[in-house]
Structure 1
C-alpha cells in the first residue's frame, strides 16, 4: 500500500465515516472573545484542541474535514441521534422526576444546545449535562474528543517516553529496569505455545489492545486439565492440544504478550463475584510543584465482560465513598508507585496508570497516554479542567520535586 493510499484510507476511516464531531464546537471559536462570563480557561483549551487537532494532515484538508464533519452532524447524524435520544428518555420517564428537578422541556432545551456544540448523546447523559449550567459545560471533556485532547495538550514529548507508554513490552522492561514493581511480560512465540505446561494461571493479551479486548486466560484444574477462555467469555477451549491450536492460529494475525494472571488483594473480594483482576486506574499529573496523583477509579471486573464497574477513589486517603467508605489497602504505596513511574517518563504531562492491587502490594500493569476522561468526571468530581489540571497544562518545565499525593 502506497503512502497516498494509506493516507486516503486514514482520511476516509477517521473523518468521512465518523458520525460525531472530533471535538466540541462553538460559533465563539470563530469570533474575538469579548466577555468574561464563561469558564475561560477551559473554553480556551477546547478551542485550542479544535484548531490544532489532526496535526498530521495538511490544514487545508483539515478545514475540509471540519466543514464536512459539521455538515453531516448538523443535518444528518445530529438530528437523528438527538431525536432518538429524547424519545428514549421520554419513554423511559427518566426526566420530569421531582428528584432531578428537571422538566422535559428543560431537558429538551439542554439537549438542543448539546447538539449545537457537537456533544454526543451518550456523553450528554453520562456526564449529566442536563443538570449543569451551559457555561460550566466547557470544564468537561467527553471521550469523543480523544485522542486529540491529550495529543494537543501534551505538547511534545520524547520518542523514548512515547515508546515506553505505547508498547506494553517496552513498558514492562523499562519499569523493571527502574526497580519498580511491574507485571512480568514477555512476547509470545511459537515456542511459548509449545512450552505451555501445567502451572500458575496465565494471561495473554494482544500487544496492541484496549479495554481487555482480545485478552485470554489460561488456567489449570486440580486434575491438570488446561482451560482457555477469552475475557469476554465468548471463546472457550479445553485441553492443551485445542489451546495450542487456537493460539497458533491467533498468532498468525495478532502479536500476543504473556503475563502471569495476578490475584487481587483478599480485602477486595467482598465487592465482586468472580476471580478476574481488580484494577486501579490512577491519573498522575506533572505540575510545577511535582508529580501528583490527581484522580482515580477502582475498576471492579464483571464476569465474562470487557467492561468494568468504576468507583471513584479519594486520592488523599484511598477511600471509596460508594463502597461504604472502604479504604483500599496499600494506598500510599500505590500512589508512590504511580508517581515514581511518571518520573520515568517525566516529559509526559499526564498519564493514566493501570495498577493491580495484590496481596503482595501494588503492581504496575501499563501506562496510558490516551486515558479515558468521561468516567473520571462522574460521581461528583466535576469537570476535567479543574485547578490541578490547569496547573498541569501551564507547567512548562520538569518539576524539581515529587510530593507523594
Structure 2
C-alpha cells in the first residue's frame, strides 16, 4: 500500500506535465494516423489501473495543467528562449508566445518542445506528427500492448538479456561478476583490469561507474556522477560497496573504441550507437540511428550525431547549431561524412536481436564498435524518442 502511494505521489501528484497529449484535433474528422495514435495513447494510459482511477488521474493532471502549470511554463519558456530564436530566425517574440500558448493549451504539450523540435518550421496541424517525451512510457505501451513475460524480463534484466543473446549467437558483453546486493570485495574490483559497473535493472547510465586501470602507474580512477578525483582504493571500494548494497549490480569489462573511431572522435571514452528497429510486416527494420559521443569532463552527457542508415555515414546537422556550444558544433562538422567501420554488422546484429522479440513493435538498441568487433550492450522498450527526432527535425517513421 505504501509502495503504491509513493508511486502515485511521484508519477502523478508531483508531476508538472500531463501524462499524454489531449488535443482539440481529436474532435476533428479525417485526421492522420499520428493524431489517432496520440488519442489512443491518451485513452490507454495507466492501463494497469481501474478505469475509475484513470479518470481521477486525468482529472487531476489536466486540471493542474490548464489552471497553473501550462501558463507558468509558457511564460518561463518564452522569457528564457524567445530572444535567441528572434535573433537567429527573426520570429517575433509575440508570434512565439502565441505558438507556445497554442502548444500548451490546445494540445497539452509542454512548451519547451517548440524550441527543442524547432516547431516554428512546421504548421500547427503538423505538430502532432512528432512523438513527445511526456507521453512515455504510455506511447510505447500503446504501440506494444501484448509484451510477453519473457520479453519484459529480458529487456529489464541486463544479465539475463546478455546470457540469452549469447545463447542465440549474438555478440554481447560478458559479466565478470554478478553481485546480488552483496559486498564487493577488493579482489573483484582491483585485478589490473578496467571495469564498467552498472545496475542490473536501470537505464540512461543512471547508477553506472567506470573503473579505469592505468598500467603505467598501477593506479585506479573511478568515474561517475558526483565522484571526486584522486580517490584511494579504499574510498573507491566504499563508494561501490554502498551502491551495491542497495541493488543488484553487474561488473563487466570496460569496452574500448575501434581505433578508427578513437582517432576520428578524439575520445578515449566509449562511443556508443543507439539504433531503433521497428517491425515492418513482422520483420525488423532499422528506422533511426545515432552516434553518441561523450562530452569531455562529463560522465553521462553525450553529443548525438545522426547516421545515414544505408552506409553508416555520419551526418552534418546545421539545424542543431542553434542550441549547441561551439565545441559540439565543431565536433559534428569534423565528423560529417565519416563512414563508421563495421556498419553492416551493426545493422545486422540489431535486426537479428529484434527477431527474438516479435511482440515488441519498436526497440532501442545500444551497441559499441570495438577492436574485437560489434558488441550488443542492451535493448530498451521505453527508449527515448527526442534525440532521434532531432536528426533534421523530422518526425520518426515508426507509426
1:86 to 60, 73, 78: 78
Q: Which runs of 5+ in 1 are unaligned?
A: 391-405
- In the TM superposition, 1:66-105 aligns within 5 A as 66-90=58-82, 93-97=83-87, 100=89, 102-105=91-94
Q: TM-score, normalised by structure 1?
A: 0.87
Root-mean-square deviation over aligned CA pairs: 1.9
Instruction: Tell me the distance in 2 between the aligned counterparts of 1:160 and 1:220.
Output: 37
Is 1:286 the counterpart of 2:286 in the alignment?
Answer: no
Number of the residue aligned with 1:16: 13
Is 1:137 the counterpart of 2:134 in the alignment?
Answer: no
What is the deviation of 1:341?
Answer: 0.8
- In the TM superposition, 1:256-405 aligns within 5 A as 256-288=249-281, 290-303=283-296, 304-322=298-316, 323-380=335-392, 382-384=394-396, 386=397, 389-390=398-399
Instruction: Tell me the distance in 2 between the aligned counterparts of 1:195 and 1:136.
Output: 54
Instruction: Tell me the distance in 1 between the aligned counterparts of 2:155 and 2:84.
Output: 41
What is the deviation of 1:330?
Answer: 0.5
Query: Residue 198 and residue 11 in structure 1: after superposition, are their counterparts in 2 closer, same or farther (change >3 A)?
Result: closer
> SS of the residue aligned with 2:290?
strand
Is 1:25 the counterpart of 2:22 in the alignment?
Answer: yes
Is 1:171 the counterpart of 2:161 in the alignment?
Answer: yes
1:254 to 247, 250, 273: 247
1:194–1:244 CA contact under 8 A, matched in 2 = no
What is the deviation of 1:271?
Answer: 4.6
- In the TM superposition, 1:111-260 aligns within 5 A as 111-116=100-105, 117-185=107-175, 186-188=177-179, 189-190=182-183, 193-223=186-216, 225-232=218-225, 234-236=227-229, 238-260=231-253
Is 1:110 the counterpart of 2:99 in the alignment?
Answer: yes
Instruction: Tell me the distance in 1 between the aligned counterparts of 2:246 and 2:225.
Output: 19
Range that drifts further, 202-211 or 233-242: 233-242
1:227–1:237 CA contact under 8 A, matched in 2 = no
1:109-132 deviation line (CA, Å, top 9, x unaligned): 211111111211332211111221
What is the deviation of 1:273?
Answer: 4.5
1:107-162 deviation line (CA, Å, top 9, x unaligned): 12211111111211332211111221111111101111111100111020211111
Instruction: Tell me the distance in 1 between the aligned counterparts of 2:264 and 2:63.
Output: 47
Q: Which runs of 5+ in 2 are unaligned?
A: 317-334
Instruction: Tell me the distance in 1 between the aligned counterparts of 2:212 and 2:395.
Output: 42
> SS of the residue aligned with 1:326?
coil
Query: Residue 75 and residue 346 in structure 1: after superposition, are their counterparts in 2 closer, same or farther (change >3 A)?
Result: same
Instruction: Tell me the distance in 1 between the aligned counterparts of 2:379 and 2:59.
Output: 35
Number of the residue aligned with 2:55: 63
Instruction: Tell me the distance in 2 between the aligned counterparts of 1:240 and 1:375.
Output: 37
> SS of the residue aligned with 2:287?
strand
